[in-house]
Structure 1
Amino acid sequence: MRIDERIAHAHGDLSPQEQKAAATLLEHLDDLATYRAAELATLAGVSKATMSRLFRSLGFADFDEVREHLRALRTAGEPRRVDGSPDLAVHVAVEGEAIARTVSQAALRDAALLLAGAGRLLVVGWRNSHPVALHLRQQLVQARAGVTLAPLPGQVLGEELADLGPGDAVVVVGFRRRPQGFAEFLDAACATGADVVLVADPTALPLARRAGVWLECPVQGGLAFDSYAAAMSLVSVLADAVLSARGRPARDRVSAISRTYAALGEVE
Structure 2
Amino acid sequence: VTGSTVIAAHEGKAPQQIIIMAHLDTYAPLSDADADANLGGLTLQGMDDNAAGLGVMLELAERLKNTPTEYGIRFVATSGEEEGKLGAENLLKRMSDTEKKNTLLVINLDNLIVGDKLYFNSGVKTPEAVRKLTRDRALAIARSHGIAATTNPGLNKNYPKGTGCCNDAEVFDKAGIAVLSVEATNWNLGNKDGYQQRAKTAAFPAGNSWHDVRLDNQQHIDKALPGRIERRCRDVMRIMLPLVKELAKAS
- TM-score for the superposition, normalised by structure 2: 0.29
Larger radius of gyration: 1
Q: Which has the higher strand share?
A: 2
- TM-score for the superposition, normalised by structure 1: 0.27
Q: Which has the higher helix share?
A: 1
